[in-house]
Amino acid sequence: MIVVMAHKASKIAIDRVLVKLDEAGFNIHLSQGVERTIIGAIGDKTRLNDLALEAMPGVEKVVPILQPYKLVSKAYMEGPTVVKVGNVEIGGDSIQVMAGPCAVESREQLLEAAEIVRRAGATLLRGGAFKPRTSPYSFQGLEQKGLELLAEAREKTGLPIVTEVMDPRNLDMVAEYADMLQIGARNMQNFFLLREVARAGKPVLLKRGASATIEEWLLAAEYILAEGNRDVVLCERGIRTFENYTRNTLDLTAVPVVKYLSHLPVIVDPSHAIGKWRFVEPMARAAIASGADGLLIEVHPHPEEALCDGPQSLTPDNFNNLMHKLKHIAEVMDRKMGSLQ
């Protein structure tokens, strides 16, 4: 449930409600706006009548949240959440583009890619140091060396880093270098990892699982928020269907649906959804038109030489063309393309 405090309720009134909820065993999440305070309370709803919260001074109303996800629900937050990664804000008026190679392969490759995407207008650098691969014989990433190269690229370009964490045993290492921690599709329901990542104190990019429903996706996000980390960005990256021409089926209906159900920002990864570079641009444009707050795009200086996901990676020229076209789509949506501060 959420307890909506009256307009400019006093600190004393708010504290009394917090104490009462705490004594009743509720897990409390406080959201204080400029003029109004909302208290999220997770616990035994059968005790609500006994608490008589609406009779307390400063309480405007008590609203039950019917969805299984509570903190993620739009009922919990009056406005959309804006997640800050470095100086970049995701979920505001600007469209943010995270771009870079699927995997960090070498210093030369990464620094060249980072400069390419920065010049084209990307505001965050993506790149995998630890790569979850279907085959154990495929390239698995440079691990710590890859993280060090990402940090060097950030130093040279100013782009905040987004990279995946796969294992709690490597979490401290990844968090030391990354500005945003990515949970990949394969780990969306790795609930122990979700809890550990939430406690790392970094913004989290949560990809939708290949066979996950929207409710399951939002419940995965709930694990992170329940640990006290509200800086979560959701990423639609395609779901598994009967279609096998594309790598996955990009579910763009998820964007407006999730923005209706939740206050969290939503971005789209057309590269992994489609798996073929020539279709990335039209689906990226469609994603922004559907209301997405940003994109995750794979860009490689030489896709034909890529050790990972070359067929879905854009060349520098293709990425430049895409970024130019996105400006026009953003204008139609009464938004603008993000830029580094």
Report CA-CA distances (Å) from 103 to 145, 240, 243, 285. Answer: 12, 23, 26, 24
Looking at residue 341, its pLDDT comes to 65
> Where does residue 204 rank: exposed (0-12), middle (13-18), buried (19+ CB within 10 A)?
buried
What is the C-alpha to C-alpha distance for residues 125 and 153, in angstroms, rounded to an integer? 8
90 and 40 in a single domain? The answer is no
Q: Which pLDDT score, from 0 to 100, does residue 1 have?
A: 81
Instruction: Name the residue among 149, 179, 184 with its Cα closest to residue 166.
Output: 184
Q: Does some domain include residue 75?
A: no
98 and 190 assigned to the same domain? yes
- State how far the Cα of 280 lies from the Cα of 334, in Å rounded to an integer: 23
Which residues, other chains included, contact 106 with Cβ-Cβ below 8 Å and sequence gap of 6+? Answer: 149
**CATH code where residue 9 lies:** 3.30.70.1140
Is 78 contained in some domain? no
Is position 38 within any domain?
yes
Q: Are 112 and 251 part of one and the same domain?
A: yes
Q: Which domain holds residue 41?
A: 2-63
Number of domains comprising the chain: 2
- The b/e string for 50-67 (b: 16+ C-beta within 10 A; e otherwise) is ebebeeeebbeebeebeb
Pinpoint the alpha helices (H) of the chain: 11-23, 48-51, 107-120, 144-157, 171-177, 191-198, 214-226, 254-261, 270-274, 280-289, 316-332
Q: Give the per-residue pLDDT at 245.
A: 96
Chunked into runs of 10 residues, the chain (341 residues) has average pLDDT values of: 86 91 86 78 75 89 85 87 96 97 96 98 95 73 93 97 95 97 97 97 97 98 95 98 96 97 97 97 98 98 93 97 97 94 65
The pLDDT value recorded for residue 120 is 97
pLDDT at 137: 67
Please give the C-alpha separations between residue 21 and each of 1, 15, 41, 45, 234, in angstroms, as whole numbers.
Answer: 11, 10, 7, 11, 30
Say if pTM beats, i.e. exceeds, 0.75. Answer: yes
Is residue 68 domain-resident? no
How confident is the model at residue 141, as a pLDDT?
A: 78
Residues 246 and 310 in one domain: yes
Q: What is the pLDDT of residue 30?
A: 84
Do 283 and 251 form a contact (C-beta atoms < 8 A)? no
Is residue 92 domain-shared with residue 54, that is, in the same domain? no
Count CB neighbours of 261 within 10 A. Answer: 17
Please give the Cα distance from 195 to 221 (Å, whole number).
10
* Cβ–Cβ under 8 Å, residues 152 and 165: no
Cα 86–89–91 angle (5° rounding)?
Answer: 145
Within 10 A of 327 (CB to CB), how many other CB atoms are there? 12
Q: Is residue 103 part of a domain?
A: yes
What is the domain-level CATH number for residue 167? Answer: 3.20.20.70
Backbone φ and ψ for 48, nearest 5 degrees, come out as: -60, -45
